[in-house]
Chain A
Amino acid sequence: MELQVHDLAVARAGVAVLEGLSFRLLPGRALVLRGPNGIGKTTLLRTLAGLQPALAGRVSGAEAVAYAAHADGVKAVLTVAENLAFWAAAYGTADVAAALDAMNLRALADRRAANLSAGQKRRLGLARLLVTGREIWVMDEPTVSLDADSVALFAAVVRRHLQQGGSALIATHIDLGLEADVLELSPYRAKPPAAGGHVGAFDEAFE
């Protein structure tokens, strides 16, 4: 499945942040999004994940997206294995054991998520991507609170996913050591409506 974005404009809180964005993400490729804080990386990823509507433009292939947000969505009173098993059931897959092994969570499988460290919780959050069975991984700062070994482990998992024909869209500030294309978002910063940019809901309300 190929992710295609054509002339996309996205808005945060009704104000356009990015516009005129077009790119293609082919199977087997990774794309790293870069840009200063506040440029709209998270907003773009949430739009691609279908959590908010785009201001303008087209996205195709979004139905194959698995989204990993800032927050891991880990339930503290469930064990690591129970957390993963729920998401596996939600996506209609069953391979929890492979995901546990891939993110080095096997030894923690029966521990309650409340007792995990921040990095271990993040690993659990990323292991969720493996049980979704989706082809396009959209990840928002996946390496936050991971140590160097875990970053390498995660990079290996992404590399294997790419080899199997998947693709990855990653917003990150650090170098993962992946053979990835880099998309710098700064040139796509939205112009204010007065300068001919897109009009968001917030601007409309004050016209």
Chain B
Amino acid sequence: MIALLARDLRLAVRAGGGFGLGLAFFLLVAVIVPLGVGPEPAILAKIAPGILWVGALLSCLLSLDRIFALDFEDGSLDLLATSPMPLEGVVAMKALAHWLVTGLPLVMVAPVLALLLNLPLAGYGWLVISLAAGTPALSVIGAFGAALTVGLKRGGLLMSLLVLPLYMPTLIFGAEVVKRGLAGMDVGTPLALLAGITAGAVALLPFAAAAAIRVNLR
């Protein structure tokens, strides 16, 4: 299991692995939005939590189809499925590797990009906390979507259509945490729901994803 995590991380950081792709996309979103909306600091400060969360979500989406598709194409997925590792564990490790490569860097650069969007200072802490609590769910839900569409020719678009609606609760509560934090209100409820979605997804979806892969490999 640890070997699989190490392998996936190594594959991600070597040439063509896509490490940093999501990060660059996140940066571009944060740069492009002020160009479109205009430079008024008040407007930017108001929309910053939502834009940052949508940006994080889209950059996560960008690299999802790599989770299983590459292993399917070169035959590794067949061999992983016949190896002694439980397929549920394979899914969980691959989702964890995806989060370490995509989600965690997003959490870490988010404060810098928040500066570009003129997020008020009070929101920085809540932004990082909400992203840290929410992005693992994005990776696990994404791994489930990737498992459903593995083996389909050009299944990337279909996967986006399947996954984006499933991302909505995380987006709603994640952005809500930051907005409430900014307004000085109690963030307990949305933060608990956000963490609950993550915990539920991490606990249940690897089983669903493994079942989907078994069907797709037949």
Q: CB within 8 A of A89: which of B3, B78, B80?
A: B3
Secondary structure call for the B interface: helix
Q: Are B76 and A75 in contact (CB under 8 A)?
A: yes
**Total cross-chain contacts (CB, 8 A):** 68
Checking A65, A71, A72 against B82 with a beta-carbon cut-off of 8 angstroms, the contacting residue is A65
B8 smallest CB distance to A (angstroms): 10
CB <8 Å contact, B75 and A70 = yes
Assess whether A90 is in contact with B4, with CB atoms less than 8 Å apart: yes
Which residues of chain A have C-beta atoms less than 8 A from B2's C-beta? 89
Contacts of B79 in A (CB 8 A): 67, 69, 73, 87, 128
Known: A69-B75, A77-B16. A51 touches B218 (CB 8 A): yes
Q: A126 → chain B, closest Cβ, in Å?
A: 12
Evaluate contact between A72 and B75: CB separation under 8 angstroms.
Answer: yes
A residues within 8 A CB of B4? Answer: 86, 90
A91 within 8 A of B: yes
Give how many B residues have a beta carbon under 8 Å from the other chain's beta carbons: 24
* Docked-complex contact B14 and A71, CB < 8 angstroms: no
Q: Is B185 an interface residue (CB 8 A)?
A: no
Q: Does A74 contact B (CB under 8 A)?
A: yes
The prevalent SS among residues of A at the interface is: loop
Are A75 and B7 CB-contacts (below 8 A) given A51-B218, A52-B217, A70-B75? yes
CA–CA, A115 and B4, complex, Å: 23
In the assembled complex, B74 has its CB within 8 A of some CB on chain A: yes
Give chain A nearest CB distance to B66 CB in angstroms. 13
Query: Given the complex, which residues of B lie within 8 Å of A50, measured CB to CB?
Result: 81-82
Contacts of B10 in A (CB 8 A): 78, 82
Looking across the interface, which residue of chain A has its beta carbon closest to that of B77?
Answer: A73
Indicate if the CB atoms of A52 and B218 lie closer than 8 Å.
yes
Contact residues of A between 76 and 118, Cβ < 8 Å to B: 76-78, 82, 85-87, 89-92
Q: Which residues of A sit under 8 angstroms from B85, Cβ to Cβ?
A: 90
| CA gap between A178 and B10 in the complex, in Å | 39
Question: By the criterion CB–CB under 8 Å, are B16 and A86 in contact?
Answer: no
Q: A50-B81, A67-B79 are in contact. List 10 more A-B contacts (CB 8 A).
A: A51-B82, A51-B217, A51-B218, A67-B82, A70-B75, A72-B75, A77-B11, A77-B15, A82-B7, A86-B4
On B, residues with C-beta under 8 Å from A are 2-4, 7, 10-11, 14-17, 71, 74-76, 78-85, 217-218
| 17 A-B pairs with C-beta separation under 8 A | A49-B78, A50-B82, A53-B218, A65-B82, A67-B82, A70-B75, A72-B75, A73-B74, A75-B7, A78-B7, A86-B4, A86-B7, A87-B83, A90-B80, A90-B83, A92-B84, A128-B79
